[in-house]
Amino acid sequence: MEKTYKQEVVSLAMGQGQVFHGEGILAVTKALLQSGVSYIGGYQGAPISHLLDVLGDASEILDELGVHFEPAANEAGAAAMLAASISYPLRGAVSWKSIVGTNVASDALSNVASAGVKGGALIVLGEDYGEGASIIQERSHAIAMKSQIWLLDPRPNLPAIVEMVEQGFLLSEASNTPVMLQLRIRACHLHGSFVCKDNLAPKFSRKNHIKQPVFNFGVIPLPPSNYEQEKHKVEARLPAALKFIREQKLNEFFDGSQREVGLILQGGLYNTVLRSLQQLGLADAFGVSLIPLYVLNVTYPLLPDEITRFCAGKRAVLVLEEGQPNFIEDAINAALRRADNNNTFVIGKEVLPVAGEYTGEVVLRGLTQFLQLSMPDGVDQVVLAQPSDAISDTKKQAAELLGQPVPPRPPGFCVGCPERPVFSALKLVEKEVGKIHISADIGCHTFSTLAPFNLGNTVVGYGLGLAGSSAVAPMFSKRVVSIMGDGGFWHQGLTSGIANAVFQNDDSVLIILQNGYSSATGAQQIPSSRNGIAPGTSTIDIKSVLHSLGVQWVRTVTSFEVGAMQATLQEALTTSQPGLKVIIADGECQLEKQRRVRSENAQQLAAGQQVTRSRFGIDADLCSGDRSCIRLSGCPSLTLKDNPDPLRTDPVTTVNNSCVGCGTCGEVAHAATLCPSFYQAEILQNPGWLDRKLDRLRRKLIGRLQRSTAREIA
């Protein structure tokens, strides 16, 4: 995995009264254990992928309590785990990445929400909406409203998050409804402290089994039960949820002296709003605000009576709600109109962006405009404008100093990534056969859509590369190429793409990038990982699975062999054999490989053993300076330096110290018939006496040859 929590998970065993210090993800895990969960599941995805890493490292503590932990094959599988709470008093939690995960899980979620739950069911969402996200810009709020799932958005500090996890289970059980708890990226990884409680062993667990199964046709989604379920959601569960939220005071009111105006905000925006108020001189460093605040730790459902109470006597309120549609703002307007409050003016997207993350600067400017419009007594309008003006001045000064716009820094493949040479081969193939329609996919390989490759015409979902090419493929006179990672293969590519392509006898080409992990989310294990996540786990071979489905044309090529990959792609695109043709590009994730190799090398060096590693370089005297190697591989370790030849002004290519010796640059140079300037050097540590002697002989011989050449030139 990307990060280990072996040392930190010790804090999960803390008991009553002890003070926990640590990361947000660890705090969530501790809160789950304090709540007496029977099972935990999920599918990795930033920003909550580390939650699964923590749980994996905490296996001993989970085993001691009898808690079952199981990473799911995808988000739908994780959501289906909540079925355990429908008929039995089992508390359970599952986790995945925000809207993209919720979309995959929506079928199971709809059925669980319709049937209702007996045991508390909590869904921990890594809500990375905004500029820091790598996903489509949608929110989970709409899913919560559509399926009648209550949505918590706690203030981003550890005590509030822990309390909301515990209250989430109670809310779920009080209303027989699953509950979502969304955490932004910063909330997942902020550090803080809270006072612990004892971990609770669940009533039913792997150690204390359920005696008899329960059958209740009322929870089955078939007529007439499903009609009754829909009615029950609105007539019984919703009122029960509203009552619990009101009585337990899950939303928070913070009074202030400037009572003519107020702020209504999502709980997750609390820290940003307080910091902005502090910059405006309207709050102190301890969170005491002069402007009254209504903090929505529960963003769905809303309580109309709390909204009208907060807005009573106020001339204007500002609603701080990230993203579109502005569900909360519209609901507040509706609640005030129904209460015949026509005196409070509701401002929201008029002064805040309609889309995008509400960063500190965005909130500061929005608050400034709101206070300039509402003009509350006692607020100095001249002082109010100073922070925003200072930011504008700083930006102008920075632009003047730079003299030009800051160049874009898009994401890209890691140094030595085994996926880069595959796309280099694709670029070379396109030179031979012309442009190819490429149905791309979610994962590290999505970076192929960026420079220098710019390969990939569509991206529609994780593991859906092949399915995404099914309609467009017949529209071309030549075969299209689809991309799929091994993580996407197991997520849903096997069933949604490959099985159907075989069944339909689709004549297209699929490249499966087999790097051994779910790499983009932190290198978690997948069914084909060489090292299983659990003892006794057996690796499932992708090639065998393809053959079992009836795929006849399958080739496995080492990812770094650009020439072989190029030849195999040309064969796949031109062969007369019909049907699906699959190329498995086999190459371990370089990040994970380097973590393992560095550890192994350190152990060998400490033991006095010999260690050899490869580095690649470029002979500056031979480099032509056309930089085709950079354009065809895009490796970050390839860069430029001044030409050593005083008669040549163009810079030459060089390899910097980030090189991991994968050899892609040389392979690309060879496959593309480029210059022969690349060389490979072997770095030997802990050399023996024979190695030292050979080194001295080589140095002497090279020295003589260099002196001889110098005399000839002179």
Q: Please give the pLDDT value at position 384.
A: 84
- Are 193 and 257 in a shared domain? no
Q: Please give the pLDDT value at position 714.
A: 64
Most confident of 137-141, 418-422, 535-539: 418-422
Cβ atoms 422, 565 nearer than 8 A? yes
- Are 350 and 469 in a shared domain? no
- Are 207 and 221 in a shared domain? yes
CA pair distance 330, 336, nearest whole angstrom: 10
- Please give the average per-residue pLDDT across 204-219, as a whole number: 94
Interval 44-93: pLDDT, tens: 887 888 898 899 899 999 999 999 999 998 999 999 999 999 999 999 99
- Are 374 and 444 in a shared domain? no
Q: Is the confidence at residue 536, as pLDDT, over 70? A: no
Determine, yes or no, domain membership for 305: yes
Mean of per-residue pLDDT scores for the chain: 91
- Are 586 and 706 in a shared domain? no
CA pair distance 109, 143, nearest whole angstrom: 9
User: For residue 617, what pLDDT band results from cuts at 50, 70 and 90?
Assistant: confident
Number of domains forming the structure of the chain: 4
Determine, yes or no, domain membership for 384: yes
CA pair distance 13, 84, nearest whole angstrom: 26
Q: Please give the pLDDT value at position 2.
A: 54
User: For residue 531, what pLDDT band results from cuts at 50, 70 and 90?
Assistant: low
Domain closes at, from 247, 270, 303: 247
CA pair distance 113, 232, nearest whole angstrom: 11
Burial class (CB in 10 A: 0-12, 13-18, 19+), 667: buried
- Are 176 and 232 in a shared domain? yes
- Are 243 and 262 in a shared domain? no
Question: How many other CB atoms sit within 10 Å of the CB of residue 199?
Answer: 22
Largest pairwise CA distance in the chain: 100
**156 Rama class: left (phi>0) / alpha (psi -120 to 50) / beta:** beta
CA pair distance 209, 202, nearest whole angstrom: 10
Q: Is the confidence at residue 423, as pLDDT, over 90? A: yes
- Please give the average per-residue pLDDT across 459-473, as a whole number: 93
Determine, yes or no, domain membership for 599: no
Domain closes at, from 211, 229, 247: 247
Sequence-separated (6 or more) residues with CB below 8 Å from residue 43: 71, 72, 73, 74, 75, 77, 78, 95, 96, 97, 101, 491
Q: Which CATH number goes with the domain that contains 286? A: 3.40.50.920
Name the residue range of residue 54's domain.
8-247
220-224, 257-261, 534-538, 663-667: least confident range: 534-538
- Are 116 and 241 in a shared domain? yes
Measured torsion, CA atoms of residues 443, 24, 108, 121, in degrees rounded to the nearest 10: 170
**Alpha carbon of residue 505 to chain centroid:** 34
* Crossing angle of helices 98-115 and 225-232, rounded to 10°: 110
- Are 391 and 426 in a shared domain? no
Q: Which CATH number goes with the domain that contains 236? A: 3.40.50.970
Residue 92: in which H helix or E strand, if any?
A: strand 92-96
- Are 270 and 358 in a shared domain? yes
122-136, 369-383, 584-598, 660-674: least confident range: 660-674
What SS3 state is found at 376? coil
Interval 183-203: pLDDT, tens: 988 888 899 999 999 999 999
- Are 379 and 271 in a shared domain? yes
Look at 384 and 218; give whichever has higher pLDDT: 218
Q: Please give the pLDDT value at position 500.
A: 95
What SS3 state is found at 62? helix
Q: What do you get for the CA distance between the two ends of the chain, in Å?
A: 58
Determine, yes or no, domain membership for 416: no
User: For residue 1, what pLDDT band results from cuts at 50, 70 and 90?
Assistant: very low
Determine, yes or no, domain membership for 600: no
- Are 505 and 441 in a shared domain? yes
Q: Is the confidence at residue 671, as pLDDT, over 90? A: no
Residue type present at position 422: V
Q: Is the confidence at residue 356, as pLDDT, over 90? A: no
Determine, yes or no, domain membership for 173: yes
Which of 341, 337, 302 lies closest to 321 in space, CA to CA?
302
Determine, yes or no, domain membership for 363: yes
Q: Phi and psi dihedrals of 681, rounded to 5? A: -120, 140
Report DSSP state, residue 493: I
Cβ atoms 374, 350 nearer than 8 A? no
Q: What percent of the chain has pLDDT over 90?
A: 66
Determine, yes or no, domain membership for 412: no
Q: Is the confidence at residue 97, as pLDDT, over 80? A: yes
Q: Please give the pLDDT value at position 524.
A: 81
Domain closes at, from 225, 247, 269: 247
